[in-house]
Structures are given as structure tokens and as C-alpha cells.
Amino acid sequence: MKAPKSPAARRTMALWSAAPRSSRLHTTIRWWSAPFTELELEVPLAGDVLEVGCGHGIFTVFLGISSRARRVVGIDIDSDKIALAKSAASGLRPGEAEVDFDVMPAGSIPALEGGWRAIVFADVLYLMHPEDRAAILSACFEALAPGGLLIVKEVDTRPRMKALLAQFQEILSTRVFRITRGSHLDFPSLTELESLMTELGMSTIAKHIDHGYIHPHCVVIGTKPAS
Ligand SMILES: C[S@@+](CC[C@H](N)C(=O)[O-])C[C@H]1O[C@@H](n2cnc3c(N)ncnc32)[C@H](O)[C@@H]1O
């Protein structure tokens, strides 16, 4: 659990201060429990960045505020969350960050001329059937620029007790409180994610980014060949 300490993190969270109470609570808990500071360090500092399954948009906005040379787009299947994200981002000062949001159907990855510099997922792929997961990663690979990065953050299935705690919370969130939308619940391991990305022809780095957190957060960074 980590508080939003950096100026960029504090500024990001301040943008949700006028949001409905439930969204404020959700974004606050999300910040404290997710390794956004660690994940941001993996994202290129400049260029077009797509966040798929951005939810309320806190990480999308944090990416934009952390580096003004990033043009960041957040997409999600949940129109209510995108409306909240747009409302919070409307509080950005001119030139503070280049951020946009859009609703997209499940499985759709927007094309960009020249390709995306990076495509990021933060805790989204566990909400999909394995075949949909493979298909969306393949669509991302196609949509990336040569040399572009596919950055996939999930919660690993090891260590077992930490993973079970995270999975229990996700079951509550999707099936009981219905805060999160998704077609399915299937928690991929770090190894499975890395295999999917190497099968696409990417060179990969896989690691845990969970120091100081309750959950076994992990990330796989895949690089598309430059030619
Ligand atoms: C646990 S939330 C994570 C939100 C955000 N990435 C974050 O880190 O705060 C998962 C999000 O994925 C979205 N989602 C689920 N399936 C999706 C899909 N096929 N395409 C895009 N978004 C999806 C949900 O609507 C939800 O907002």
C-alpha cells in the first residue's frame, strides 16, 4: 500500500476530488493498492500511448501528467467509467497533460497512423477468456509501431496466499459489488503472459513490481521487432 506522494501523483488524485463519493473512494483505494508509480517508469516518456481498460482513468492521467511529451489515450468498454474519466480530465490546466478517453467495444484496438509507441494494460486481462486475451494481445501487436512496447500489468498467481487474497477481492468486485465489468474471470500467471507475448514474436522482460504491496503485482514488457 502506497500513498500518492509525488507531485504528479497528488495532482492526478486531486482531479477526482469533485467526483461522486463512490468514485473518489474507488480511485483512492486503487491508487494505494496498485503500483502505478512503478508501472509508469516502464512507459516511454514520449509518443502515443494507449491504455486499454483504463477504467476511471487515473493511470492514463498520471501517465500524461508525469510526462507532457506523452499523448495518452484511455479506452474502456464501460461508458460510465469513461464519463467519469473525461469529467476528471476536464480539470487539467491547458498544457498540463495530453490525455483523451473513448469507449470501445471489447476486443477493439484503435489503429493509429504509424502505430502506437506503447500499449498498456493494468489489471484487465484477467477479465477475459484465454482465447480473447490471446486475440487482444495479437491485435495490440499489430497496432504497435515497429519497436513499440506492449506493457501488461497483472497480479501473478504466486506466491499462492497473496494471489488468493487478490483473487478473492476481484471476485467481490466483479461478482458481488459489480464495480468491474468483464466477460470472465481467469487469472493468468506471469509465465503465461510472457509466453503469449513471446509467441507473438516479441522480446520480453518479466518482473514483479510488488515491493511494499499486499498483492503480487507483476509486469511483462514486450518489444515489437523494429522491422
Ligand atoms: C480492474 S479495472 C482496471 C482499471 C484501470 N486499468 C486501473 O488500473 O485502474 C478493469 C477495467 O477493464 C475494463 N475491461 C474489461 N474488459 C475489457 C475489454 N475487453 N476491453 C477493454 N476494457 C475492458 C473494465 O471495464 C474495467 O474498467
- Residue 222 neighbours by CB under 8 Å, 6+ apart: 141, 149, 150, 151, 152, 197, 198, 200, 202, 203, 204
In a domain, 152, yes or no: yes
In a domain, 2, yes or no: no
**94-122-10 Cα angle (round to 5):** 40
In a domain, 137, yes or no: yes
In a domain, 77, yes or no: yes
Closest residue (by CA) to atom 20 of ligand 1? 106
Q: Confidence class of residue 1 from pLDDT cuts 50, 70 and 90?
A: confident
Q: What is the pTM of this model?
A: 0.95
Please give the Cα distance from 186 to 162 (Å, whole number). 16
In a domain, 106, yes or no: yes
In a domain, 17, yes or no: yes
pLDDT tens digits along 5-29: 899 999 999 999 999 999 899 899 9
In a domain, 1, yes or no: no
Please give the Cα distance from 120 to 98 (Å, whole number). 16
Dihedral angle sign, alpha carbons of residues 148, 200, 120, 203:
negative
- Regarding the beta carbon of 124 and ligand 1, being less than 6 Å apart is answered yes
- Regarding the beta carbon of 34 and ligand 1, being less than 6 Å apart is answered yes
- Regarding the beta carbon of 30 and ligand 1, being less than 6 Å apart is answered yes
Please give the Cα distance from 64 to 70 (Å, whole number). 6
- Regarding the beta carbon of 59 and ligand 1, being less than 6 Å apart is answered yes
Range of the domain at 208: 7-223
Q: Confidence class of residue 183 from pLDDT cuts 50, 70 and 90?
A: low
Can you give the CATH number for the domain in which 71 is found?
Answer: 3.40.50.150
Closest residue (by CA) to atom 12 of ligand 1? 53
In a domain, 145, yes or no: yes
- The total of structural domains in the chain comes to 1
